[in-house]
C-alpha cells in the first residue's frame, strides 16, 4: 500500500510501516541491531500525532539514555516540522521524577523533594548504620547500598523483604537498615534514584484514582531497548499499560541479543513474555539492517550465533550497495602499540576527510581509555569521553596524583588536604581546622604542622596512629623514589597508605574498575624518568583536556554505546581477561560469557562502514611482560568476513617469523603465546648485560640471562626465570 501514503512512511520498508501503522493494540518489535527499531518508534510517535490520534502530551515514550531522549525529541520535531513541546519523553527515571512531583504527598514527601546523588546516598546510609555497630570492614556501606538498590530494582519495599531474602549481608539485618534508610529519606524530604520508580509504582498500585488519571492521559506508550528493563520498570509499565476494558496501545522494541544490563537487574525475560503479558499482542520482526555493510553484519551475526540462549533472528543487509570492507583484526604488541595504531588510523581517516564525530573507540573497561587519551592528546586530535570522566578526572586518579604531589612536594597543601582523610584517618573538621591554625601561625606547610602536632601530642587517639603511619609511608616513598625508582615507590605508597585497601574493601560495583584504573596509572608511571616528569605531564594534559569541540571523536564503554552508530568503530583490547572480562572468566558461568558476547555484538554493530578490532600480544603487569591470549570472540568471528594482520603500520617492532596475514584460521593460541619471537628494537639501558646481578621489586634478586632490546630475561633467585623490562630492575 504505497500510493498516497505520507512522505515520512514511504521511505520505510513494509514491515517497518506495518509496525508504525498498527497503532492500536499491543505490539512488540523484535529485531536485530540496526534494523530501524528506534526509527520505527520515532516515526510511530510522529505518525500518531500527524494522523490526529493523540495530542503530544498523550504519548508516553521511554528511552534508555538522556542522549537518546534528546535525539528522539529532535527526530520527532523534524518530522513534525516544529519544535515538540510538553512531551512525556525521557528515561524511566526522568519520567518518574516528573510524575512523583505531582503525587509526592502520597509517600510522605513534598513536591520539592531532593533527588540524592550517589555520594549523598552513601553519607545518609552511613548515618543510618551508626547505631547498628556493624563491622564495616566486613560489611562495607557500599555493599549494603548495593543490596538495597537491587531490592528496589525488583520492586521490593522494606515490608516485602522476607527473611529468606535477607541472609547474605550484614548478619541478616539489611531489611531493618533498608527500612530505617527509607525513614531517614522521608525525614529530609529526599529520595534516591531507585525510589523514583519504586514510589511511583507504589502510588499507582495503592491509589486507583492516580492510576486512572494516567490511563486517561496516556493513550499510547512507546518503549525503546525493552530487553534491558528491570523488574520495577516492567511493573511500572504494566500498570500504565493495562487499561481496563480497552486495548493497551503499548509498543515495545528490543533485541534479546543486545541485553547487556543484567548486572543492573535487567530481565531479558520481560521481552520473552510480552505476548503473555499483553494478550492479542502482535509481534513484528524486522530483518533488514540499514546501518552496516554486509561484511560487518556477517562478522557480527557469526559471532552472536555462538550464544545458545537466544531467540534467533535473521539479519540481511538492507543497503544493496554496501558490501563494504572486511572487519579488520589487528594484532599489536602491547597497549602502547595499540594506541599508536589507532592514532595512526584516525589521522589517516581525518586526512581522507572523514568527520571526527563519526569515529568512536569502544572499550570494555574504563581503565583502557588512558592509553588512547594520551595518544590523541599527543597527536592533537580532539576527543571526548562520553558517559564518563576522562582518565585524569576520575576521583581515584586525582587522589593518587595528590599522594604523588605530596611525595614530590611536601608543601603542597592542596594535595595534602585532599588525602589526609582518604582513606578515613579520624581527622574531623575540627582537627583539620586546628591543623590549619597551627600551620598558619608558624607559616609552615600542613605536613610539617602534622609532624609537630604529633610530636607535641596535640594529635591523639586513632588520628595519631593513622597520621603517624601516613607520614611514615610518605617519607618511605620519598626515599624509595630516589633509591629504587618512582614506580616502585608509588606502587608501595598506594598500598602502605591504605588507599588501595580502601577500594578493595568497597563492595560497590564501580570499585573494581577504580582499582584497575589505579593499576593502569602505576603502569603508566614507567614511561617517565621520574615523578616530577610525570606530574608535569599530567598538569599539561589536564590543561589541554578542556578543549573538545563539536567535531570530536568519542571514547566510551561498550555499555554506553548501545543504540548509537558511527562510520568507523575501533574495538581494542579483545584479549581474554579484558574482553571477556577477568571477572566473567573467574565466575565461569555460561550466562556471564554470553552477556559478554552480546556486548561484543553490540560493539561491532555500532559501525556503519568499518570496524577495527585489535588485541595485544603482551601486557605489562607489575613491570613484567605477560603474554595475552586473543579473546575467544576473535576466534569466533567467521573467517570470510575478517581480515587479520599483525600491525605493520605504526609499530616500531615487528613479528619475526610470522606472516603479515594469518590466513583463514585467525590466531591459533600458540601464535599469541610466542612472546619469545618478539624482537624489540627499543634502546637498551647501558649496563644491562648477561650475567649482571639485578634487583626487582616483586621478584627480588636475580641474574640476567638474556637481553633483547629493553626486555630482559632474568633468573631470579626465588621467583625463577622471568621476562621483565629493564626499567623495572636495578643493577646491584
**Contact positions vs Mg ion (CB under 5 A):** 37-38, 563
H-type helices in 352-445, by residue range? 369-379, 395-408, 413-419, 429-442
Q: Which of 33, 170, 221, 435 binds ligand ATP (CB under 6 A)?
A: 33
39-68 residues near ligand ATP, rule: CB under 6 A: 39
Which residues on adjacent β-strands are paired with residue 74?
none
**Helical segments of 66-140, H only:** 66-80, 92-103, 118-129
Which three three-digit cell numbers place residue 276?
Answer: 503473555
Q: Smallest gap, in angstroms, from Cβ of residue 598 to ligand ATP?
A: 11
How many whole angstroms separate alpha carbon 236 and alpha carbon 154?
A: 11
CA distance 358 to 124: 43
User: Does the protein bind ligand ATP through residue 294 (CB under 6 A)?
Assistant: no
Q: How far, in Å, CA of 23 to CA of 232, rounded?
A: 26
User: Is 338 known to be catalytic?
Assistant: no
- Choose the binding region for ligand ATP from 36-44, 422-430, 476-484, 567-575 (rule: CB under 6 A): 36-44
Q: 65 or 189, CB closer to ligand ATP?
A: 65
Task: Choose which of 15, 16, 569, 711 interacts with ligand ATP (CB under 6 A).
Answer: 16
**Would you say 170 is a known binding-site residue?**
no
> Whole-number minimum distance, CB 275 to ligand ATP, in Å?
20
CB atoms within 10 A of CB 598: 25
- 38 is annotated as an active-site residue: yes
Work out how close the CB of 38 gets to Mg ion at its nearest, in angstroms, rounded to a whole number: 3
CB of 61 vs Mg ion, minimal distance in Å: 13
Q: Is 37 among the catalytic positions?
A: yes
Query: Residue 292, interface with ligand ATP (CB under 6 A)?
Result: no
32: annotated binding-site residue? Answer: yes
| Residue 504 among known ligand-binding residues | no
Among candidate residues 481, 478, 490, 484, the one with its CA nearest the CA of residue 397: 490
Q: Residue 702 belongs to what H/E stretch?
A: strand 700-708
Residue tagged active-site, from 166, 195, 225, 396: 225
Where are the strands (E) in 178-287, listed by range?
190-191, 220-223, 250-254, 282-286
What is d(CA 220, CA 217) in angstroms, rounded to the nearest whole number? 9
CB 384 within 8 A of CB 548: yes
Q: Which of 710, 633, 691 is nearest to 667 (CA)?
A: 633
333: partner contacted, choices ligand ATP, Mg ion, none (Cβ within 5-8 A by kind): none
Burial of 409 (0-12, 13-18, 19+ CB in 10 A): middle
Bridge partners (DSSP) listed for residue 360: 554, 569
Neighbours of 590 (CB within 10 A): 10
Nearer to Mg ion by C-beta: 37 or 615?
37
CB of 402 to ligand ATP, least distance (A): 41
33 among the known binding-site residues?
A: yes
37 is in an annotated binding site: yes
Closest residue by Cα to residue 144 from 176, 102, 192, 107: 176
314 known ligand binder: no
- Grid cell for residue 133: 555497630
Distance of CA 499 to the CA centre of its chain: 22
Catalytic residue among 15, 166, 180, 224: 224
Residue 536: all three cell numbers together: 608535569
Nearer to Mg ion, 35 or 517 (CB): 35
The least distance separating ligand ATP from the CB of residue 724, rounded to whole angstroms, comes to: 44
Q: Considering the complex, state which of residue 155 and residue 563 has its C-beta at the smaller distance from ligand ATP.
A: 563
Determine if residue 231 is labeled as part of a ligand binding site: no
Among ligand ATP, Mg ion, none, what binds residue 291 when CB lies within 5 to 8 Å by partner kind?
ligand ATP
- Footprint on residues 244-273 left by ligand ATP (CB under 6 A): 255, 258
Q: What is the CA radius of gyration of the chain?
A: 29
Catalytic residue among 15, 17, 37, 608: 37
The answer to whether 447 and 410 are in contact (CB under 8 A) is yes
Site membership for ligand ATP, residue 357 (CB under 6 A): no
Q: Which is nearer to Mg ion, 562 or 723 (CB)?
A: 562
**229 interacts with ligand ATP by CB under 6 A:** no
Q: How many other C-beta atoms are found inside a 10 Å radius of the C-beta of residue 479?
A: 12
32 or 410: whose CB is closer to Mg ion? 32
By beta-carbon proximity to ligand ATP, the closer residue of 38 and 480 is 38
Say whether 225 is catalytic. yes
Q: Which of 15, 17, 30, 36 binds ligand ATP (CB under 6 A)?
A: 36
**Cβ atoms of 557 and 364 closer than 8 Å:** yes
Query: Binders of ligand ATP among 546-605, rule CB under 6 A?
Result: 563, 565, 605
Task: Provide the 10 A C-beta neighbour count for residue 260.
Answer: 22
- Measured from the CB of residue 50, what is the shortest distance to ligand ATP in angstroms? 18
Annotated binding residue at 532?
A: no
Q: State how far the Cα of 301 lies from the Cα of 667, in Å rounded to an integer.
A: 20
- Span near ligand ATP by CB under 6 A; candidates 7-15, 56-64, 537-545, 709-717: 7-15
**Looking at beta carbons only, is 68 or 402 nearer to ligand ATP?**
68
Q: Cβ closer to ligand ATP: 149 or 289?
A: 289
The neighbour count for residue 117, using CB atoms within 10 Å, is 10
Check residue 37 for interaction with ligand ATP (CB under 6 A).
yes
Instruction: Sort strands 720-725 and 711-716 into parallel, antiparallel or unpaired.
Output: antiparallel
φ, ψ of residue 321 in degrees (nearest 5): -75, -15
Q: Does residue 40 contact residue 20 with C-beta atoms inside 8 Å?
A: yes
Q: Does 12 bind ligand ATP (CB under 6 A)?
A: yes
Catalytic residue among 606, 608, 711, 722: 606
Considering the rule CB under 6 A, would residue 13 count as an interface residue with ligand ATP? yes
Report the binding-site residues: 31-38
Active site residues: 37-38, 224-225, 258, 606
Contacts with ligand ATP, residue ranges (CB under 6 A): 11-13, 16, 31, 33-39, 255, 258, 290-291, 563, 565, 605
Report the binding-site residues for ATP: 31-38
Amino acid at each position: 500500500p504505497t500510493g498516497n501514503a505520507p512522505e515520512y512512511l514511504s521511505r520505510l520498508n513494509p514491515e517497518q510501516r506495518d509496525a508504525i501503522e498498527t497503532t492500536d493494540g499491543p505490539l512488540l518489535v523484535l529485531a536485530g541491531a540496526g534494523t530501524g527499531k528506534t526509527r520505527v518508534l520515532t516515526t510511530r510517535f510522529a505518525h500518531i500525532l500527524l494522523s490526529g490520534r493523540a495530542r503530544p502530551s498523550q504519548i508516553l515514550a521511554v528511552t534508555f539514555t538522556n542522549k537518546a531522549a534528546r535525539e528522539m525529541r529532535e527526530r520527532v520535531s523534524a518530522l513534525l516540522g516544529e519544535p515538540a513541546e510538553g512531551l512525556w519523553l525521557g528515561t524511566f527515571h526522568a519520567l518518574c521524577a516528573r510524575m512523583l512531583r505531582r503525587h509526592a504527598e502520597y509517600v510522605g514527601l513534598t513536591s520539592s523533594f531532593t533527588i540524592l546523588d550517589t555520594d549523598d546516598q552513601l553519607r545518609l546510609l552511613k548515618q543510618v548504620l551508626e547505631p547498628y555497630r556493624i563491622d564495616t570492614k566486613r560489611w562495607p556501606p557500599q555493599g549494603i547500598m548495593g543490596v538495597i538498590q537491587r531490592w528496589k530494582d525488583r520492586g521490593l519495599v522494606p515490608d516485602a523483604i522476607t527473611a529468606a531474602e535477607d541472609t547474605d549481608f550484614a548478619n541478616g539485618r539489611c531489611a531493618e537498615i533498608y527500612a530505617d534508610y527509607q525513614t531517614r529519606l522521608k525525614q529530609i524530604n529526599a529520595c534516591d534514584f531507585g525510589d523514583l520508580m519504586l514510589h511511583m509504582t507504589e502510588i499507582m498500585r495503592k491509589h486507583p484514582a492516580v492510576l486512572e488519571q494516567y490511563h486517561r492521559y496516556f493513550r499510547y506508550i512507546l518503549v525503546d531497548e525493552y530487553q534491558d528493563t528491570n523488574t520495577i520498570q516492567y511493573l511500572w509499565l504494566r500498570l500504565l499499560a493495562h487499561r481496563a476494558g480497552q486495548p493497551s496501545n503499548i509498543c515495545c522494541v528490543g533485541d534479546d541479543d543486545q541485553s547487556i544490563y543484567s548486572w543492573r537487574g535487567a530481565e531479558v525475560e520481560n521481552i520473552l513474555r510480552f505476548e503473555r503479558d499483553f494478550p492479542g499482542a502482535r509481534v513484528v520482526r524486522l530483518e533488514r539492517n540499514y546501518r552496516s555493510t554486509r561484511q560487518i553484519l556477517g562478522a557480527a551475526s557469526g559471532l552472536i550465533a555462538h550464544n545458545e540462549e537466544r531467540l534467533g533472528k535473521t539479519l540481511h543487509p538492507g543497503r544493496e550497495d554496501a558490501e563494504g570492507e572486511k572487519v579488520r583484526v589487528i594484532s599489536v604488541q602491547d597497549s602502547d602499540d595499540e594506541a599508536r595504531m589507532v592514532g595512526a588510523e584516525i589521522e589517516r581517516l581525518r586526512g581522507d576527510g572523514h568527520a571526527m564525530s563519526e569515529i568512536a573507540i569502544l572499550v570494555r573497561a574504563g581503565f583502557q581509555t588512558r592509553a588512547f587519551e594520551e595518544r590523541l592528546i599527543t597527536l592533537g586530535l580532539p576527543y571526548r569521553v562520553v558517559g564518563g570522566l576522562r582518565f585524569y578526572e576520575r576521583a581515584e586518579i586525582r587522589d593518587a596524583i595528590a599522594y604523588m604531589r605530596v611525595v614530590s612536594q611536601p608543601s603542597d597543601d592542596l594535595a595534602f588536604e585532599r588525602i589526609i582523610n582518604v582513606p578515613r584517618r579520624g581527622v574531623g573538621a575540627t582537627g583539620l581546622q586546628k591543623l590549619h591554625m597551627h600551620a598558619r601561625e608558624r607559616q609552615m606547610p600542613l605536613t610539617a604542622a602534622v609532624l609537630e602536632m604529633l610530636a607535641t601530642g596535640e594529635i591523639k587517639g586513632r588520628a595519631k596512629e593513622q597520621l603517624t603511619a601516613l607520614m611514615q609511608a610518605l617519607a618511605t616513598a620519598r626515599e624509595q623514589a630516589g633509591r629504587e625508582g618512582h614506580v616502585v615507590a608509588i606502587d608501595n605508597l598506594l598500598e602502605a597508605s591504605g588507599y588501595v585497601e580502601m577500594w578493595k574493601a568497597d563492595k560497590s560495583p564501580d570499585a573494581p574498575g577504580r582499582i584497575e584504573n589505579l593499576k593502569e596509572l602505576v603502569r603508566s608511571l614507567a614511561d617517565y624518568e621520574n615523578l616530577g616528569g610525570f606530574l608535569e605531564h599530567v598538569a599539561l594534559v589536564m590543561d589541554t583536556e578542556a578543549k573538545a569541540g563539536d567535531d570530536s571523536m568519542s571514547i566510551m564503554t561498550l555499555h554506553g554505546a548501545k543504540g548509537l552508530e558511527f562510520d568507523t568503530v575501533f574495538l581494542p583490547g579483545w584479549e581474554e581477561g579484558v574482553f571477556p572480562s577477568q571477572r566473567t572468566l573467574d565466575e565461569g558461568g555460561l550466562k556471564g560469557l554470553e552477556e559478554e558476547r552480546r556486548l561484543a555484538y553490540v560493539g561491532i554493530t555500532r559501525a556503519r562502514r568499518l570496524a577495527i578490532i585489535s588485541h595485544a600480544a603482551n601486557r605489562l603487569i607489575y613491570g613484567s611482560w605477560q603474554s595475552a591470549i586473543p579473546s575467544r570472540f576473535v576466534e569466533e568471528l567467521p573467517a570470510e568476513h575478517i581480515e587479520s594482520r599483525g600491525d605493520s603500520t605504526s609499530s616500531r617492532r615487528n613479528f619475526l617469523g610470522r606472516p603479515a596475514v594469518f590466513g583463514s584460521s585467525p590466531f591459533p593460541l600458540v601464535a599469541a603465546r610466542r612472546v619469545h619471537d618478539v624482537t624489540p628494537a627499543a634502546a637498551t639501558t647501558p649496563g644491562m648485560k648477561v650475567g649482571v646481578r639485578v634487583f626487582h621489586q616483586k621478584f627480588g634478586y636475580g641474574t640476567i640471562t638474556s637481553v633483547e632490546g629493553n626486555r630482559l630475561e632474568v633468573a631470579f633467585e626465588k621467583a625463577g626465570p622471568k621476562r621483565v623490562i629493564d626499567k623495572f630492575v636495578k643493577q646491584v
